[in-house]
């Protein structure tokens, strides 16, 4: 319960920073399927305009997973140069 509350507060804090995207985690599929694995994984996440991500979900082992991080983007010009060099 404490982890869920912490994750909710973290998501709310991130959303106050001008959140761009909110999302919902719903389910997962495991191959091969095992009866002890949880495939219903409810959770929430937020991605800010600055690229910060935070969220939580109920994982395969029925425990709460909390995560956070920042998206890193490569400059378009550099990527095009790399592609041309390999061609």
What is the per-residue DSSP string for 28-74? ---SS--TTS--EEEEEEEEETTSEEEEEEE-TTS-EEEEEEE----
Written as tens digits, the pLDDT of the chain (87 aa) is: 566 656 565 666 554 555 589 999 999 888 888 888 999 999 999 999 888 999 999 999 999 999 999 987 766 555 544 444 544
Question: Whole-prediction pTM value?
Answer: 0.59
Q: Contact 77/85 with Cβ under 8 angstroms?
A: no
**Domain ranges for the chain:** 2-86
pLDDT recorded at residue 72: 78
């Amino acid at each position: 319960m404490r982890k869920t509350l912490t994750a909710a507060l973290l998501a709310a804090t991130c959303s106050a920073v001008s959140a761009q995207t909110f999302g919902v985690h719903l389910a997962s599929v495991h191959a091969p399927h095992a009866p002890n694995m949880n495939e219903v994984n409810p959770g929430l996440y937020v991605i800010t305009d600055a690229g910060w991500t935070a969220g939580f979900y109920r994982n395969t082992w029925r425990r709460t997973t909390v995560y956070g991080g920042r998206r890193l983007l490569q400059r378009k010009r550099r990527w095009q140069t790399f592609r041309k060099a390999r061609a």
